[in-house]
Amino acid sequence: MPTKQNPFLKNIFFLIPLLLLTCTNPVSPDYKYIEGLIYIEGFLGTEEGSSYVTITESDVAQYYRNIFVTGATVAFVNADSGQSIQLIEEDAQYIPPPNFKGTVGEKWHLEVSLPNGNQYVSEVETINPSVP
């Protein structure tokens, strides 16, 4: 006795090749590059020589890049004692004196004054123990 084919299976086998042949239009990402954005990145470590701050500004004149901002006044400030550690500009970053290191539990914030007069102050952060 001949077997009767299921019409659903017949349609599925017809639709699968059509789905594989369909195209999608590629979409290019739309980036919005903004010139003059200031990026401040810093780290206050518990080892001598591990602390630094970098300050860059976005530049899109010829191609997208970040340019180091020179001539800024940068300081780590202890939130409890008010002690201010001035950082010096060296090798495209701002660094504290060579013997400076933070201690676990201390609270510090960052103060930055750019040559154009703009000032930035971070929130207070507590130095946490290192992950073993």
Residue partners of 99: CB distance under 8 A and separation at least 6: 48
d(CA 96, CA 89): 9
Whether 1 has a pLDDT exceeding 60, the answer reads no
- Rounded to whole angstroms, the Cα distance separating 50 from 58 reads 26
The type of residue at 82 is G
pLDDT of residue 8: 63
pLDDT tens for 19-71 read 666 666 777 878 777 889 999 999 999 999 999 999 999 998 778 889 999 99
- Per-residue pLDDT reduced to its tens digit, 61-113: 778 889 999 999 999 999 999 999 999 999 999 999 999 999 999 999 999 99
Cα–Cα distance measured from residue 131 to residue 128, given in angstroms and rounded to the nearest whole number: 9
Confidence of residue 15 (pLDDT cuts 50, 70, 90): low
What is the structure's pLDDT at 102?
Answer: 95
CA separation for the pair 10, 82 (Å, rounded): 80
